[in-house]
Structure 1
Amino acid sequence: MSNAGDADAPDPPDPVAAGETDTSQDGSVTVLGTAHVSQASVDDVRDAVAEEQPDVVAVELDEGRYNQMQGGAPDDIESQDLLSGNTVFQFLAYWMLSYVQSRLGDQFDIEPGADMRAAIDAAERNGSGVSLVDRDIQVTIQRFWNGLSFTEKLKMVGGLALGITDPRTIGLTFGAVIGLLTGLLFAVFIAPMVGLGDFFLLGITESAALQTVGALGLGTIAGAFVGLLFLPSIRAADRYGGEFINGVSARTLVGIAIGVGGSLALVETGTFVGPISATLFENAGSYSLRSVIGALTGLGVGISAGALLGILFGLLSGDVEEVDEIDIEEMTDGDVVSAMMEEFRQFSPRGANALIDERDAYIAHNLQTLREHGYDVLAVVGAGHRAGIERYLEHPDELPPMESITGTASSRRFSPLKILGYLAMVSFVGFFFLLMMAGVQDTFLLQLFAAWFLFNGIFAFTLARLAGARWTSAGVGGCVAWLTSINPLLAPGWFAGYVELKHRPVNVRDIQTLNEIVGDADRPISEAIDDMFNVPLFRLIMIVALTNIGSLIATILFPFVVLEWLAPGIGGVDALLAELLHGAENSLELLRGLLT
């Protein structure tokens, strides 16, 4: 992720230029703490430059942010950067931080960063040099994101959500989604294992009735798939469909109508060919009934729990209107700033280290260099950095080595998702290994692998297309989806995003566009979502996320859906389990033979 642009950044002051500065003795550094969204801070900066008459005005900017402030076009994200794994998430973190600052700027009617712009303008009027002393935002965000624990990332996302909407909406949405998914999974997979499968069938056990229900279920899924992926967009729906019907939903509904009609025709006429059999529709009917009843039950429970959760969120978050009582000028007061920094450290200790402590040291390093060269420097920085920078300037020997606070940081912790990924990898490799050790026919193994490839590919491809990916991007994501089970570090979403970036450039200016959309409270939700999908950054994030989610769903469903369908080829599920056990016994025998 790079946000360097076309504007020319100021050259660093030349310590030996024309003897302008006496380098035989140290210069001085005055640190001015500002609030980035305060008009009073802008006035303070102008007054300080006029009063101090510094040789150099040092600003809390890096080259990329300076260029963007001066109107330069930010560089696009490089495709190869996406394969590093966290680039999209770093953009997401940057968006969160930018959104908070943007909301404050809107509230206090001033452009975020106006203090830095005022410092640069005042320096130019005064004839002072300008020095960009902050660390590259790309490095800062990367180190910030990798430093967060999984819990801290969830808290950060939750904090952004609370800033966008009210706690009750979050609680209801969260409860509804979790309840629906939990009810669906329980009814389809767990209930039959514990003898509750018939409970979710509502007494419908006749073959003809189940076939009809199965036709409705299969027709809906297949029709939606065909409508989303293959039918042309119905542009008239955008014009006449109102708030809830647009081109995408219209073609989906048309596809469902075609799918349901075709499936019902097959069942009613008894036209079954090859794998499309009466048994297929009957089994689909059982799954469909359990899915719908389980999902509705879970949805009801989830909404009820979500309502209570929303009330709890509201109590914990306090009165949102209290933000109106904030005096922005207090944000430069030392005691207030210290309290705010301490609160942030409690919220995210590792995040505070990357965003505050490391940058304090980085800026202090650069200011110390300017001071050693004999310059009188006025450093304009955020109030939260002032105390740390001044401490380092008073005790330069305490500065950490520059190389320890630059460059990208690797995340050494295992996240829950990584652990699940490695478990899936071990299960996948172990499954095929045990079948080979059991002497299962190669034909069955090839069928199994082909089914795995197609099942993962279809889910990843479909969800990528649903997010708006191009055919080529979705196709690449679908083709590599099966690799996730072998190597969880190779997420298919990265590859889909890599191809997408070839046709849809993304840069940090998209974040400003997203902030404008999210901050527009009068914009209808459906229109806001459409507008967000038109922003390349948001579309890229959704493509990467949904492609990975599609592969994850396929990995979870494969043992319950595909294995049950393929197992009759070797005698059924019980025979398959027996082969796995036989493979384990053969492996142990081989291991004993090698050890003795």
Structure 2
Amino acid sequence: MNDNNVERIMLDDKEIILIPTAHISKRSAEQVKEVIEEEKPDSVCVELDKQRFNSIDKEDKWSEMDIFQVIKEKKSLLLLVNLIISSFQSRMAEKLGIKAGQEMMQAIESAQETESELVLADRNIQITFKRVWRGLGLFEKMKLVFQIITMLFVDEEISEDDLEALKSNDSLNIILAEMGENFPGIKRYLLDERDQYLSHKIKNAPGKKVVAVLGAAHLPGVKKELYNQQNLNKLNEIPPEVKWTKIFSWGIPLFFILLIIYSFFSNVQTGIEVSKTWIIWNGSLSALGVIIARGHIITILTAFLVAPLSSLNPALAAGWFAGLMEAYLRKPQVKDFQSLSEGITLKTLWTNKVTKILLIVILANLGSVIGTTVAGANILRILF
């Protein structure tokens, strides 16, 4: 058996075999098959949650998506991020002649063949993303979004030897140290917490012999956490919104509402000028976001009309209305959803109806936020 990088740990009376993998590596998939079929473990743990397990081997998984529901549940940004990351992995995997996540598919198949119990060991992806997003400061959020956007432009060559080198302990320690220094919040929520979650699931898997298939980046943390106690309830909690965020999100609109009312009491003409400033800047910049996303003319008009009102109510967002209008006017077809499985590029963001709708939601909201800032500055200038 080729056990290079494979870790064997005895924990009380249980033998745990950790297989560190690269999600786009053919060798990783081959090693997973070899180890599971030779060891015939009682349990096979995979770095998947139920949602990803249900979709990992479905070619048409995107065709079941309800774009209207995505917008209503405020998941447009989350979905677009997921699509960009999946597309990046798919492009890299295609160059190596393998499907992204093939090692997890192989683990599932080998578990069935050896009659091992399959354990979905990862935390729910929705919980992970929510903890990441709510746990990061504004600067780290901006850095994270920037890093994800750059994935659309990456088209470098990578070899199996490069992937194997990255899986070595020295390389992993260097990468993780750099990640901890540059993105401490992201490392905490995306890596360290999941190391704890994975460790708990692995050491509590049924049987005396357990094989765990996990991304190489999780290996150092999982090895350490196997000897610690974890609280899954705490790891599954959704952090509440920071109080100052709520105060800020409601306080700013209330402040501008009072300013607009005050302007009319002060002078009707000033009130009209202030109202026009608010409507024009909010509506125009939100509509500009839709124009950049190449939305329908009616969608552009929707953003223009809704933004000045939605900016005064944090429970609403211009992008939601614009996205729903675009989805109604240009209903995505089956082929649009199916093409998502082939990955997305900078070009297809604007040509695929699904990604265009997501882009409209995000850019219309961004335009409205900028419009609020510019309008607010101009109103203060007019009044004071």
Q: Please name the residue that 1:93 is paired with.
A: 81
* Alignment check: 8 A CA contact 2:71 2:323 kept: yes
- TM-score, normalised with respect to structure 1: 0.53
Residue 422 (structure 1) shift:
7.0
The superposition leaves residues 9-38 of structure 1 with CA deviations (integer Å, 9 ceiling, x where unpaired) of: xxxxxxxxxxxxxxxx96543222222222
- Of 426-435 and 533-542, more deviation after overlay is shown by 426-435
Q: Distance in 2 between matches of 1:77 and 1:497?
A: 13
Of residues 521, 541, 564 in structure 1, which corresponds to 2:358?
Answer: 541
- SS state at 1:486 partner: coil
Matches within 5 A, 1:14-413: 27-71=14-58, 73-74=61-62, 75-76=64-65, 79=68, 82=71, 85=74, 87-160=75-148, 162-165=150-153, 327-371=162-206, 374=207, 376-395=209-228, 398-399=229-230, 401-412=231-242
Matches within 5 A, 1:494-513: 494-501=320-327, 503-504=331-332, 512-513=341-342
* Alignment check: 8 A CA contact 2:81 2:148 kept: no
The superposition leaves residues 306-344 of structure 1 with CA deviations (integer Å, 9 ceiling, x where unpaired) of: xxxxxxxxxxxxxx9796696211233223222222222
The superposition leaves residues 243-283 of structure 1 with CA deviations (integer Å, 9 ceiling, x where unpaired) of: xxxxxxxxxxxxxxxxxxxxxxxxxxxxxxxxxxxxxxxxx
Residue 389 (structure 1) shift:
2.2
* Alignment check: 8 A CA contact 2:46 2:214 kept: yes
Q: Identity across aligned pairs (percent)? A: 27
Residue 111 (structure 1) shift:
2.2
Q: Please name the residue that 1:431 is paired with.
A: 259
Q: Distance in 2 between matches of 1:348 and 1:145?
A: 13
- Mark the CA change 1:118 to 1:39 in structure 2 (over 3 Å): closer, same or farther: same
- SS state at 2:211 partner: strand
* Alignment check: 8 A CA contact 1:31 1:379 kept: yes
Q: Give the number of equivalent residue pairs.
A: 366
* Alignment check: 8 A CA contact 1:140 1:355 kept: yes
Q: Distance in 2 between matches of 1:350 and 1:505?
A: 39
Q: Distance in 2 between matches of 1:35 and 1:539?
A: 31
* Alignment check: 8 A CA contact 2:261 2:271 kept: no
One-letter amino acid matched to 2:362: A
- Supply the RMSD in Å over aligned alpha carbons: 3.9
Q: Please name the residue that 2:5 is paired with.
A: none
Residue segments in structure 2 that go unaligned for 5+ positions in a row: 1-11
The superposition leaves residues 192-220 of structure 1 with CA deviations (integer Å, 9 ceiling, x where unpaired) of: xxxxxxxxxxxxxxxxxxxxxxxxxxxxx
Q: Distance in 1 between matches of 2:352 and 2:260?
A: 43
- Mark the CA change 1:330 to 1:532 in structure 2 (over 3 Å): closer, same or farther: same
The superposition leaves residues 539-577 of structure 1 with CA deviations (integer Å, 9 ceiling, x where unpaired) of: 12321233234434554665899x8xxxxxxxxx9xxx6
Task: Point out the structure with max Rg over C-alpha.
Answer: 1
Q: Please name the residue that 1:6 is paired with.
A: none
Residue segments in structure 1 that go unaligned for 5+ positions in a row: 1-24, 167-319, 519-528, 564-572, 582-596
- Mark the CA change 1:493 to 1:36 in structure 2 (over 3 Å): closer, same or farther: same
* Alignment check: 8 A CA contact 1:460 1:551 kept: yes
- Mark the CA change 1:165 to 1:31 in structure 2 (over 3 Å): closer, same or farther: closer
Q: Distance in 1 between matches of 2:300 and 2:372?
A: 18
* Alignment check: 8 A CA contact 1:424 1:485 kept: no
Q: Please name the residue that 1:479 is paired with.
A: 305
Residue 407 (structure 1) shift:
4.7
Q: Distance in 1 between matches of 2:93 and 2:51?
A: 21
One-letter amino acid matched to 1:343: E
One-letter amino acid matched to 2:100: P
